[in-house]
Amino acid sequence: MSSHAQNQAILAYHEVMPESNYSYCVPLRQFKDQLGILSHGLESGPGALVTFDDGELSQMEIAAPLLLEFGIKATYFITPGLIGTARKFLGWEQLRQLQAEGHSVQSHGWSHKFLTGCDDHDLKHELKMSRQTLEDRLGNRVEEISIPGGRWDARVLRACADAGYRRVYVSEPWIATEMFGVKVLGRFMVRNTTSLQQFESIVRGDKAMLRKMKMRFQIRRGIVNLVGDDRYHRIWCRLTGYNEFEEARQQ
């Protein structure tokens, strides 16, 4: 089970590859430089927690050896319903190996459905099925979940609490609060465009940087409200290069 210090930055990664056009795929050299910053520490600031979403194969084949090299433990948020559906997803033996190496494996929902779009039955299934399957197959307690697509609201948080989660990770890095008995913790999404200067600012907890990010988020939320979430997501997929296995993720 992962833990973090108060005000500690929480970093969210997806894929790590030698190179890629996908916005959420961090190049290998860039990832190594970022781990170097984390392992050597900064003069000020509480450091950061490393997390991964989706259970991509590169997270073990490429990222895990570097985590070992730099002595960093991470939290892997997994969608059990996607295991075995494509070669790019980690399997159960690989997840057991990650646990054996000291990493934490937690929930990313059952099938990566956006939880705000689920009816009550599907929402309960997404949350409970994921948690129970991970616990049954891996033998460790699952009390944390990262929200698929960053879509959450009070109804989703209450359902997370009812499903037994105690920590809920969202996509707004300035958030650190508690609702319905669960801690709501914001993460910074590391992209291939994240500079080392931006990275260090986030790890240090630079308040000016967080204010800028919050302002951009509010602008984006206004656009979502204007065009609708489904249309916005399709546009986002085209702009970021996120299309492979998208159909499987949303079923």
- Asked which of 160-169, 195-204, 225-234 is least confident by mean pLDDT, the reply is 225-234
Which pTM was predicted? 0.86
Whether residue 248 has pLDDT greater than 60: no
Confidence of residue 235 (pLDDT cuts 50, 70, 90): low
CATH T-level topology, domain 9-250? TIM Barrel (3.20.20)
C-beta separation of 73 from 35 below 8 A: no
Whether residue 206 has pLDDT greater than 60: yes
Report the 10 Å Cβ neighbour count for 187: 25
- Asked which of 35-44, 57-66, 73-82 is least confident by mean pLDDT, the reply is 35-44
Residue 7 corresponds to which tokens in the numbers above?
Answer: 């005000």
The residue among 34 and 43 whose pLDDT is bigger is: 34
Mean pLDDT of 135-161: 97
Distance CA 8, CA 206 (A): 11
Could you tell me which of 88, 50, 96 has the C-alpha nearest to residue 71? Answer: 50
- Supply the DSSP symbol for 117: G
The set of residues, in sequence order, having a beta carbon less than 8 Å from that of 53 and lying 6+ positions away, is 12, 13, 14, 77, 108, 146
Residue 1: per-residue pLDDT: 47
C-beta separation of 115 from 109 below 8 A: yes
* Amino acid identity, position 187: R
Whether residue 243 has pLDDT greater than 60: no
The set of residues, in sequence order, having a beta carbon less than 8 Å from that of 33 and lying 6+ positions away, is 196
Whether residue 42 has pLDDT greater than 80: no
Residue 200 corresponds to which tokens in the numbers above?
Answer: 């260090």
Residue 242: per-residue pLDDT: 59
Confidence of residue 61 (pLDDT cuts 50, 70, 90): very high
What's the pLDDT tens digit per position in 69-85? 999 999 999 999 999 99
Whether residue 27 has pLDDT greater than 70: yes
Mean pLDDT of 94-106: 97
Distance CA 91, CA 36 (A): 28
